[in-house]
Amino acid sequence: MKIFVLPEKPDQAKKYAHALGDPKNDKGIWKVYSDILKADVLIAPAVGHLVEKDNPYKNYENWELENLPALPEKFSYHVKKGVSSSFNNIKKCIKECDYIIIGTDPDREGESIAYKILNEIPGSLKKVKYRLWANSLTKKGIESAFKNLRDPSETVNYYHEADARDDADWLVGFNLSPFVTIKMKEVGELEKTDKVMSVGRVQTPIVSLIVRNHEEIENFVSTPYWTIEALNEDGLKFTNDVKFDSLQEATEALESMSDGYTVVDVKVENKSQAAPKLYNLTNLQSEMSKLYKIDATRTKEIVQSLYQKGFMSYPRTDSTLITTNEFEYLVANVEHYKKKIGKNIETVNLTPRKEFVNDKKVVEHYAIIPTENIPNIEELDPYEKIIYQMVTFQTLLMFSENYDYQSTTITIKNDASSTEFKTSGNVTLNKGWRKYKQTKSEDKELPSLKVADNLVLKASIKQDQTKPPSRITEQYLLKTLLPKYDLGTSATRDGILDLIQAREYVKKEKKTGQFTPTTRGIKLIHFLDKLDIIYTNPETTQKWELLLTQIGKGKIKKSDFVEKVKWAISKQIEKGKQLL
């Protein structure tokens, strides 16, 4: 029996080979007998994408309006230049083997890389028998993955999803980029020598968000408003939510009030807050941007490096949960982690809790956590060290006590006008995990009051101004906006942010991480608005992403989705031709 394993990268292949036994490397092909698989194993890696999409219109000029929309019936692929030796090694192994185990990265992109290679080798798809799903590249992690091989039918829809996404992106870019560029030059929005205006399914709505935010700030006119607050002799403040548009209105409201108030409600709740969630890639990128001004791409590269060295779990994950399997090895290594990062955290929660551990909800990948392989911290580069310590610290907090506090809200009513005022405060009962991670909140102990108590307070008018929206930062994009609209994935978001900067649509301020649009970016979005092209709207991309997710779950067909994309592009171009 001879088995072929297809990894995505040479380093991955080497780790697989050494985890399976005592391997030999024969001109780029690893050969090893595996006790786990009870067979001879051949391992020949890809080097990422060996195969790329053909241009279906090689003799076709899509930069002429009469040739748009260009909607090919299907796509074909070819082996990229310079990688034929890797491809031929894979082809040779497939010819020799009895069956294939797909061992590319355990995600949509990895699935796509594998099947695009296999599609170019006749007869190979019939030999695919198992899918290796390795969330950890430690020896134990790889051994566990080989002992728990998946049926390829469980993951093949991820390939169809990735392929649908790739086709959709190609169709949007190949059609709308030339269409918009030609039209902008026709009406004088661009010079004849100006660069192409690239339009993309994901990049364009992100540029749109930054442009809209910028224009809201630029067009914002601050206006005054007035509120009324009431204070007791100790300075305790009770506030009212009503905002008055004029000082006269506020004054009339104040004059209707007396100094007497009655307590109408006292709400006291004991609350408990578990430690912060474990990191997924987007949250970690957001944190690194905020704390260290490290951009998203660099953060992903660092985590990928730690993963490949076997010190950290798979990086391109959206999950903040782990399974009981990971929890067990983390518990076993708690004291080692503490010592390694120099944090004396009291770890008392040594049984799984639903906030962190849920076997049913971890479908593809679990959260980013340290592996059982613990590095020599001093041998890591400075940023690897920072990220390893951050991830390990966040993981250790999972084992600490909850933060327990008492929350009190007091509502009072003015005796003369019946206007309600409120004050609230929290008192810590047990600091728990907050002993180790600083937060901005402070204790505010309220006086002991009960319903029907009478108070004497002094009310006064306070003037304030409306404030413009905050400028969008990389952290806010990663943590809030991109997940909100499903713009990109954890694996692609950093690349898209780099792309819109490289295409000179936006600029990022290094110190603050704030994004501002360029004149070029503003021109693009305004022109797309004139053409009524839907790709400026992030909700359009969000709807597409929901459909793509359904492909990944096997609930809709890739072909149905792509046909809808073609229909939408066709309608957009028809409408655009009529408008301008």
Q: Is the pLDDT score of 439 beyond 90?
A: no
Give the neighbor-by-neighbor strand order of the sheet with 420-430.
454-456, 260-273, 403-414, 420-430, 237-239, 224-231, 458-465
Rounded Cα distance, 197 and 190, in Å: 9
Nearest to 477 by CA among 172, 173, 208: 208
Nearest to 106 by CA among 128, 130, 134, 125: 134
* Beta strands 39-43 and 51-53, pairing class: unpaired
Residue with tokens 């022109």: 527
Q: Is the pLDDT score of 543 beyond 80?
A: yes
Give the pLDDT confidence of 17-29 residue by residue, as tens digits. 999 999 999 999 9
Rounded Cα distance, 537 and 1, in Å: 54
Give the neighbor-by-neighbor strand order of the sheet with 24-26.
24-26, 29-34, 39-43, 2-7, 99-103, 128-131
Arithmetic mean of pLDDT over the chain: 94
85 CB-near residues (< 8 Å, 6+ apart) = 28
Region 43-57: mean pLDDT is 92
* Beta strands 506-508 and 77-79, pairing class: unpaired
pLDDT at 167: 96
* Beta strands 99-103 and 2-7, pairing class: parallel
Region 346-354: mean pLDDT is 96
What backbone phi and psi angles, to 5 degrees, belong to 574?
-60, -45
Nearest to 286 by CA among 441, 135, 478: 478
Give all strands (DSSP E) within 232-259, no chain letters: 237-239
* Beta strands 260-273 and 128-131, pairing class: unpaired
pLDDT band at 54, cuts 50/70/90? Answer: very high
Rounded Cα distance, 296 and 280, in Å: 13
pLDDT band at 59, cuts 50/70/90? Answer: low
pLDDT at 262: 98
pLDDT at 193: 86
Give the pLDDT confidence of 262-317 residue by residue, as tens digits. 999 999 999 999 999 999 999 999 999 999 999 999 999 999 999 999 999 999 99
Region 381-392: mean pLDDT is 97
* Cα pseudo-dihedral 340, 346, 348, 354, rounded to 10: -70
Give bridge partners of residue 230 from the DSSP assignment. 238, 459
pLDDT band at 63, cuts 50/70/90? Answer: confident
Structure tokens at 191: 């010079």
State how far the alpha carbon of 139 is from the alpha carbons of 131, 143, 150, 309, 418, in Å. 18, 6, 19, 11, 70
pLDDT over 90 percentage in the chain: 87
pLDDT at 61: 64
pLDDT at 156: 97
Rounded Cα distance, 382 and 13, in Å: 27
Rounded Cα distance, 122 and 125, in Å: 8
pLDDT band at 60, cuts 50/70/90? Answer: low
pLDDT over 70 percentage in the chain: 99
